[in-house]
Amino acid sequence: MTPADSAFVRACWGTSVPHTPVWFMRQAGRSLPEYHQVRKGIGMLESCRRPELVTEITLQPVRRHGVDAAILFSDIVVPLPAAGIDVDIVPGTGPVIGDPIRDMADVRRLRPITASDVDFVASAVRMLVRELGATPLIGFAGAPFTLASYLIEGGPSRTYTKTKTMMYADPGLWHALLGRLAGIALEFLRAQVAAGVSAVQLFDSWAGALSEADYRRYVLPHSAAVLGGLADLGVPRIHFGVGAGVLLPAMAEAGAEVVGVDWRTPLSRASAQLGPQVSVQGNLDPVTLFAPREVVEAEAARVLAEGRAARGHVFNLGHGVLPDTDPDALTRLVDFVHETTVQ
């Protein structure tokens, strides 16, 4: 067995699988006591720069839950300091930008990155590939829109007012910014694939803030540049957004073998919109895990049944694991998905 014949990679391509593969967005991190233990006194971004620590944190959920894929412990803002951005990750808030982007001079100071700028990520990937054996490792990057929203707002936002104002008021500036961010995301992902990841996920977590028309006009060409720039590498590409039900066909058109679906859209409906050339990933509501076991299993069974409409299904949550989730509920869910789908 190699990662390329794993249930996860096969489901991404839509070929036959021994069981439905399962992993969880944010499986590495705050739901695990062993994570808090190794992170003690080390800042989030500093943790991402230490390959041994990244390796340990990435492996923790694989050991504990027996998930079908590991996801690199990193963050979407990790490549930004090399591009000249002053960024920190503030616990309980998320990324905070010291020098938000407002005008063309700001866009011009956003430098392209090279593989050597993120060599610490490549080191971690190489270590992980050795440790993981036949278990695939997923690499990831933030999509241009989601990165832009942090860079323009300066931090998390509810309404994306500054972001959309730039988009509508100054399309030239907007496209210049998204073009540079696409270049950074592409370089970051190509470095991860070169080091050995078996699949990549482009997180456009906040794209659901846009109408389909605006997504197509202002965002899709840039996300398509990232995904299209990976097409020659032979690894499956997953494209994910939250609240992006109306955007799903456009997100597939950007160039993805798998579209990640949040909990709002049934996978059967998503698949009907996406057609037979695309696999789906998702989409149990992460809050379900706080309910009794019978409820989790009934909801998981529904998701699995709806997922059968697609050419391939990677079981996941509709968004990341919430920090207070009982890790044992995640382990039980992995067992349930495996036991009920074994061929």
Interface residues with ligand CP3 (CB under 6 A) are 25-30, 44, 71, 73, 75-76, 89, 91-95, 140, 146, 203, 205, 320
Is 26 in the active site?
yes
Q: 8 or 140: whose CB is closer to ligand CP3? A: 140
39 is catalytic: yes
Indicate the residue among 6 and 311 with the shorter CB distance to ligand CP3: 6
User: Is 30 or 264 the residue whose CB approaches ligand CP3 more closely?
Assistant: 30
Catalytic residue among 35, 49, 68, 75: 75
- Rounded-to-integer distance, Cα 122 and Cα 203, Å: 19
In whole angstroms, the minimum distance from the beta carbon of 248 to ligand CP3 comes to: 16
27 versus 279: smaller Cβ distance to ligand CP3: 27
Nearest CB to ligand CP3, comparing residues 25 and 334: 25
Beta carbon of residue 298, minimum distance to ligand CP3 (angstroms, whole number): 25
Q: Closest separation between CB of residue 47 and ligand CP3, Å?
A: 8
Which residue in the block uniquely carries the two structure tokens 């592409």? 186
Could you give the CA distance from residue 181 to residue 239 in angstroms, rounded to a whole number? 16
Q: Closest separation between CB of residue 10 and ligand CP3, Å?
A: 21
Q: Is 302 a catalytic residue?
A: no
Catalytic annotation, pick one of 30, 64, 126, 217: 30
Nearer Cβ to ligand CP3 (191/311): 191
From 49, 68, 117, 150, the catalytic residue: 150
Smallest distance from ligand CP3 to CB 32, Å: 10
Q: Which of 39, 216, 269, 302 does the annotation list as catalytic? A: 39
> For the chain, what is the HEC assignment?
CCHHHCHHHHHHHCCCCCCCCECCCCCCCCCCHHHHHHHCCCCHHHHHCCHHHHHHHHHHHHHHHCCCCEECCCCCCCCCHHHCCCEEEECCCEEEECCCCCCHHHHHCCCCCCHHHHHHHHHHHHHHHHHHCCCCEEEEEECHHHHHHHHHHCCCCCCCHHHHHHHHHCHHHHHHHHHHHHHHHHHHHHHHHHHCCCEEEEECCCHHHCCHHHHHHHHHHHHHHHHHCCHHHCCCEEEECCCCHHHHHHHHHCCCCEEECCCCCCHHHHHHHHCCCCEEEEEECHHHHHCCHHHHHHHHHHHHHHHCCCCCEEEEECCCCCCCCCHHHHHHHHHHHHHHHCC
Q: Provide the minimum distance between the beta carbon of 325 and ligand CP3 in the complex, in angstroms, as a whole number.
A: 12
What are the catalytic residues?
26, 30, 39, 75, 150
